[in-house]
Amino acid sequence: MSSTWFITGSSRGFGRALARTALAHGHRVAATARRPGDLSDLADEFGDRVLTLPLDVTDPSAVADAVGEAHRTFGRLDVVVNNAGFANVAPVETGDPEDFRTQFETNFWGVYNVSRAVVPIMRAQGEGLIIQFSSIGGRVGGSGGIASYQAAKFAIDGFSRVLRTETEQFGIRTLVVEPSGFRTDWAGSSMTVAAMPDEYAALGARYAGSADESSPLAAGDPDRAAEILVALASRRALPHNLPLGANAADLAVAYGRRQLESDLTWSAVSRSADFGEEFPVPFPD
């Protein structure tokens, strides 16, 4: 059956691939971008099944206007995709604090603003799916140079766990997507690499050549990812978190095993902090 999608950051990357794939499968799409003119080709090709809207996700009133317009036009919102985001590269020590905040405004607060705006509509419908684009870095972390981006992605996961708990009683499902490197311009024109002091010179090199087909940052196919997500959206049974890409799958499993091993190793120490538990206990070697 045809459904209605609302997608942020639709002008390129995952957002563009998802918008085009959903439309190709017969769905309706409210496609948003800071510059809606970048979406004119979708409107020309798919006619009144696509609604192009201007949207700065950091502006709550603009979010409310765009969500309201999409709802008035199509009558419902079945799948909402929080995809808008970007990363700039700089060390925590020397990076510009304002740039750190600006990234967080889009990468986390944009997700918050859109999620908050669509929940009342989905609650009234009695169903809906919110797809939050995180990153495998939002699970395993530790990628030097992109602290703001990864901190926001960790925050998205924590926020989405609470959102899921609060809204699943209304038939609202929440899926957190955790991609590894994909052939988008995430590490290309969308990214600014700050001047690096000598002590951190190696950080910027990780993102050099990201458009090269041999780069791990270009291993994933956004069109395949879009096909997977459009197919998943019609299913009732979904994972809470979905790593996307071979690297994401491997990193997620390895991270889970390390965490479990560490937690089991230190379990006696952790438990000893409670009244009634054995104390003190020896620390592991």
Query: Residue 171: left (phi > 0), alpha (psi -120 to 50), or beta?
Result: left
Count CA atoms within 13 Å of residue 192 on its CB side: 8
Nearest to 55 by CA among 111, 139, 94: 111
Active-site residue, 234 included: no
The CA-based angle 181-242-20, given to 5 degrees, is 70
Other Cβ atoms closer than 10 A to 190: 15
Strand 172-179 and strand 4-7: the pairing is unpaired
Tokens of 167: 């809204």
Q: Are 58 and 51 in contact (CB under 8 A)?
A: no
d(CA 143, CA 72): 42
Instruction: Check 11, 134, 148, 180 and give the catalytic one.
Output: 134
B/e letters for 47-70, b = 16+ CB within 10 Å, e = fewer, are eebbbbbebbbbeeebbeebbeeb
Active-site residue, 153 included: yes
Instruction: Check 3, 10, 149, 210 and give the catalytic one.
Output: 149
Tokens of 238: 């979904």
Instruction: Check 10, 135, 153, 200 and give the catalytic one.
Output: 153
Residue whose structure tokens are 């019609």: 234
Strand 28-33 and strand 50-54: the pairing is parallel
Hey, which residues are catalytic here?
134, 149, 153
